[in-house]
């Protein structure tokens, strides 16, 4: 498939790039700083240098693609990057008639808050991650209101590690027998699987070990 990946220089974005290329997709990496993915460059990958807040740059990136994956983020600081960047992506996809959209979010957003452990729910999120979660909430809301064929992926805390390929998905709200972390490589694996599956079409899906 022809796929553009936004946020491709981040931890999960780099995993998405490497695995997408391994699956022989034709990949466009959308980045602000191409030096961050210099070690991944291959003849199967194109690069568009731009800002996700620039509608024209985003439109150029999504044009003639089969699907779009977003792993954009701004850490825990106060920001509206996820929301505003995602709105740009959605509008350009609708304009260019690109239907499939897979976006990274986080476990604990929306109705999945009850899946978080006590410390994460009542200490870490309210004190350290409140800005990031507020941005995720608005990001998810924009996606749900779109007419696209979207899937929102909600992992718990992301860590470095190999792609094991064995993880839970379709986690029920309030399910407690899940781990509070997962490798970025396994999240990337699951997100790429969604490009050719429709099990979670227009749904938010939890993923964890």
pLDDT in tens, 15-70: 999 999 999 999 999 999 999 999 997 888 999 999 999 999 999 999 999 999 99
Give domain limits for the chain.
2-208
Q: What is the mean pLDDT of residues 88-113?
A: 96
Residue 174 is predicted with a pLDDT of 81
Residue 115 is predicted with a pLDDT of 87
* pLDDT of 10 strictly over 70: yes
Answer with the residue of higher pLDDT: 37 or 116. 37
CA 209 to chain centre: 18
Q: Which of 6-15, 54-63, 81-90, 175-184 has the lowest mean pLDDT?
A: 175-184
Residue 76 is predicted with a pLDDT of 67
**CA separation for the pair 84, 207 (Å, rounded):** 25
Q: Return the CATH architecture of domain 2-208.
A: 3-Layer(aba) Sandwich (3.40)
* pLDDT of 7 strictly over 80: yes
Q: How confident is the model over 123-171, as pLDDT tens digits?
A: 888 888 888 989 999 999 999 999 999 999 999 999 999 999 999 999 8
Residues β-bridged to residue 6:
30, 70
- 95: confidence class by pLDDT, cuts 50, 70, 90: very high
């Amino acid at each position: 498939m022809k796929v553009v990946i936004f946020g491709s220089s981040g931890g999960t974005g780099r995993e998405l790039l490497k695995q997408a290329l391994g699956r022989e997709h034709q990949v466009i990496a959308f980045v602000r700083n191409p030096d961050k993915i210099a070690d991944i460059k291959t003849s199967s990958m194109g690069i568009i240098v731009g800002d996700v807040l620039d509608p024209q740059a985003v439109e150029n990136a999504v044009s003639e693609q089969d699907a779009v994956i977003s792993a954009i983020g701004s850490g825990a600081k106060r920001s509206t990057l996820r929301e505003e960047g995602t709105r740009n992506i959605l509008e350009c996809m609708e304009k260019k008639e690109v239907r499939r959209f897979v976006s990274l979010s986080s476990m604990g957003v929306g109705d999945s808050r009850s899946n978080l452990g006590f410390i994460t729910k009542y200490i870490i999120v309210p004190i350290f991650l409140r800005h990031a979660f507020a941005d995720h909430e608005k990001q998810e809301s924009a996606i749900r209101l779109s007419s696209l064929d979207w899937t929102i992926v909600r992992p718990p805390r992301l860590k470095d590690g190999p792609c094991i390929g064995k993880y839970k998905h379709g986690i029920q709200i309030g399910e407690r027998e899940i781990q509070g972390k997962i490798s970025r490589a396994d999240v990337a694996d699951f997100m790429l699987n969604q490009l050719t599956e429709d099990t979670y079409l227009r749904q938010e899906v939890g993923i964890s070990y």
